[in-house]
Chains A and B, each alone.
Chain A
């Protein structure tokens, strides 16, 4: 796997983890990429709750195939008195991405997932960021730092 494809594979792995987490809620929550200009406007203008995330950095550290990874993932709610739902979702995100946990990296970006393991993401730090507001809705994101190793 090339370094370029590794960027995509890691993103699709986090996408998959977030989508699967969203399915565990009743009703299921969609996952929206905050950098997705096609869908994010529609989602933020809607009154729907959902999981949101953004891919921040993937940097060779000190050099390929070892990487430093940072991303933020959390939730957005509306009609949420006291923000209890929002913090409940943030708590679920923290349970899904725990410090010290390893995630195997696959390429889920095409219609059929690759079966081979393309790397490992090791989570080193999980922090709840300050809350953000947009009119009737709130966002609470969890900052996740980690180290990744690329295989192949």
Chain B
């Protein structure tokens, strides 16, 4: 039996995609691998799942949803190829349980030419995952530590080092933004 037949046989889970306003059918059905939860890399198997499909997930679907309502970021695609023909598509999906606001600060200029008082502006509301990675000790006061949180966000999220993320009423000042596989990562310091 060709492996493509097995992939097609077990492709029973339909994915919906978020188009920015509503959940839409992606036309892709696949299967979550049961062994992925035994890959012991931090949150692997819990927050990160492997999804196999016989046809590719179009790249515009950054956020996908399974029928039980769980939302994932499509993190990376791996393709099985025989000769020159792809026959299987494997996706690393990153579960995003939280909704957060991306906050920008708009400064009112002062007569000196420097930025004056700042006002918060909500730039976007995004789905994200957040996990505490470490605490950073204050440069000035040894007893003070700042919680560092690593966010996983859609690539389209307008997150930069000039913004903050507001989640569950708490603010995180963004210190670093980088790409990890196909998703945006941001390191925030809780304030």
Contact = CB atoms under 8 A, between A and B. Distances in A.
Interface string B103-123: 001001111111110100000
A51 B112 CA distance: 15
Interface string A100-132: 000000001111110000000000000000000
A138 interface: no
Contact of B113 (A15, A38, A41, A45): A15
Contact of B175 (A12, A38, A41, A110): A41
Contacts of B118: 38
Interface string B94-110: 00000000000100111
B162 interface: yes
Interface in B142-179: 161-162, 175
Contacts of A112: 111
A31 interface: yes
A15 B112 contact: yes
A33 interface: yes
B161 A111 contact: no
Contact of B111 (A39, A41, A109): A109
A19 B115 CA distance: 11
A111 B110 contact: yes
Given A41-B161, A45-B161, A31 B116 contact: no
A16 B111 CA distance: 8
Nearest to A14: B112
A21 to B, nearest CB: 10
Contacts of B162: 42
B111 A113 contact: yes
A20 interface: yes
Contact of A19 (B105, B108, B112, B116): B112
A5 to B, nearest CB: 14
A48 to B, nearest CB: 14
A39 B161 CA distance: 9
Nearest to A37: B173
Interface of B: 105, 108-116, 118, 161-162, 175
Given A12-B110, A38-B105, 20 more contacts: A15-B113, A16-B113, A19-B112, A19-B113, A20-B113, A33-B114, A38-B115, A39-B115, A41-B175, A45-B161, A108-B113, A109-B111, A109-B116, A110-B110, A110-B116, A111-B109, A111-B111, A111-B116, A112-B111, A113-B112
